[in-house]
A and B are shown apart, each in its own frame.
Chain A
Amino acid sequence: MSKKVSLWRIFLTMFKVGALTFGGGYAMVPLFRAEYVQKYGWITDEDMLNMIALSQSIPGAIAVNCSVLVGYRLRKIKGALAAVAGSVLPSLITLTVVTYLYKAVRDNAYVAGALRGVRASVVALLVSAFLGFMKPFYKDALAVAAFAGAFLLSFLLDINSIYLIIGGIVFGVALGFLRIKKSDNAKDGGAAP
């Protein structure tokens, strides 16, 4: 970076992206690109793709991770903090208001009726999400076994999701090493999605 980008500018652009992104995750990508790549030219398309890839592989919301990475790139720690504050503030304000409204009106007969309908459609939304995520694994017996195991342990035995996620990481690494030993073409990442 030849000239310094102001922290206020970082905060404002992230606030705009945060306020206009509905549905989270990848929905922020076009807005993010319009501001950071096209309008200001602070980062390149290649930087952006790298940031998105990295954001998916680490804990936390993709949009939040992306804003930390771009903020850090522009102004180190201060930039990361300004970017996170900007991206989070629109949600924080909106949801605070919405939560108070929700507490006030949830028992109204019409609102309760609406929520009963909405809850049913959310079940369908989650089903469509896991079917979509499962697509690359349909033919991989071990992945299907991991899926089924996690489902049963979580739903029937109420095992804490955190333990199952740690188990998934251990399973992935262990299996990865076994497959590396078996095959020579492990350098390209083998069965990794």
Chain B
Amino acid sequence: MIYLKLLWIFFKIGLFSIGGGYAMVPLINSELVAYGLMTQAEVADIVAISQITPGPFAVNAATFAGVKVAGIFGGVVATAAVVLPSLIIATLLARYFFKFEDNVIVKRAMWGLRPVVTGLIAAAAASMALPALLGVESSAGIQWASLFSAVDIPAVIIALVSGFAIIKLKASPVLVILAAGVLGVILFGVIGI
């Protein structure tokens, strides 16, 4: 039953995406890409779409994946499932211990968690770079011998320029994504590299 499956997957994603936003990308990789429900390229697309549409990434990603896998009702189920852990946990905390953030154990747990989540985001960036820049689906598919010829050079240039604009020039991610899209249309669509 696809709806129950979506409910369970997105409940887990909602429960374990701590730190918001990009912390969810590695979970999508583990829970959806690994089971063939989404491709790595689609994950990159939803990150981009989420930047240029309103609302939190978690909700956008859940709706996108739900609709893609099982239509409108799938989108509703996935979205409800991804906010359910928040609803339960935040309500309990608001009721019983509002001063939760001062708790030393919580601070310690967060201290260990942050570098791990950061490592997971780095891994998600690397996984996403494989189809976007190298044209392979997973790290198992890398042909080390012919790695150099597989590199999508125009895409690598777009990635480098985007990185420079975001990190050094503090450009808005929305503008960078839109500019990369326009550049993509020109280079790959019109010129046909």
Q: How far is the CA of A77 from the CA of B94 in the complex (A)?
A: 10
Nearest CB on B from A83, distance (A): 10
Residues on A with C-beta less than 8 A from B163 are 124, 127-128
Q: Evaluate contact between A149 and B119: CB separation under 8 angstroms.
A: yes
- The interface on chain A, measured as residues whose beta carbon lies within 8 A of the other chain's beta carbons, has a size of 107
Residues of chain A lying within 8 A (CB to CB) of residue B1: none
Complex: how many Å from CA A189 to CA B180? 43
* Nearest chain A residue, comparing its CB with the CB of B52: A22
Per the bound structure, the CA–CA distance linking A148 and B16 in Å amounts to: 20
List of B residues within 8 angstroms of A21 by Cβ:
54-56
Which residues of B, 52-79, contact A by the 8 Å Cβ criterion? 52-60, 63-64, 67-68, 72, 75-76, 79
User: Which single residue of chain A is at the shortest CB-CB distance from B124?
Assistant: A126
Indicate which residue in A124, A147, A189 contacts B166 across the interface (CB closer than 8 Å). Answer: A124
User: Given the complex of chains A and B, what is the CA–CA distance between A94 and B179 in angstroms?
Assistant: 22
> Does residue B47 face the partner (Cβ distance < 8 Å to A)?
yes
A128 to B125, CA, bound (A): 10
Residues of B within 8 A of A186 (CB): 104
Partner of A92, one of B52, B63, B173: B63
Say whether A73 faces chain B, with CB atoms less than 8 Å apart: yes
Q: Which residues of A contact B131 (CB under 8 A)?
A: 119
Closest B residue to A66 using CB positions: B90
Chain A residue numbers with a CB within 8 Å of B6 are: none
Closest to A166 in B: B16
> Which partner residue on chain A sits nearest B156 by CB separation?
A120
- Residues in A neighbouring B29, C-beta threshold 8 A: 161
Q: Taking the nearest CB of chain A, how far is it from the CB of B103, in angstroms?
A: 9
- By a beta-carbon cutoff of 8 Å, the part of chain B in contact with chain A is 12, 14-22, 25-27, 29-31, 34, 41, 44-45, 47-60, 63-64, 67-68, 72, 75-76, 79, 82-83, 85-87, 89-91, 93-95, 98, 100-101, 104-129, 131-133, 138-139, 152, 155-156, 158-160, 162-163, 166-167, 173-174, 176-177, 179-190
Provide a sorted-by-A list of 23 A–B residue pairs whose CB atoms are within 8 angstroms.
A21-B55, A25-B21, A59-B14, A60-B89, A61-B20, A88-B83, A111-B189, A117-B155, A119-B48, A120-B180, A120-B184, A124-B159, A136-B114, A137-B115, A144-B115, A150-B117, A150-B120, A158-B138, A165-B116, A172-B109, A176-B107, A176-B108, A193-B114
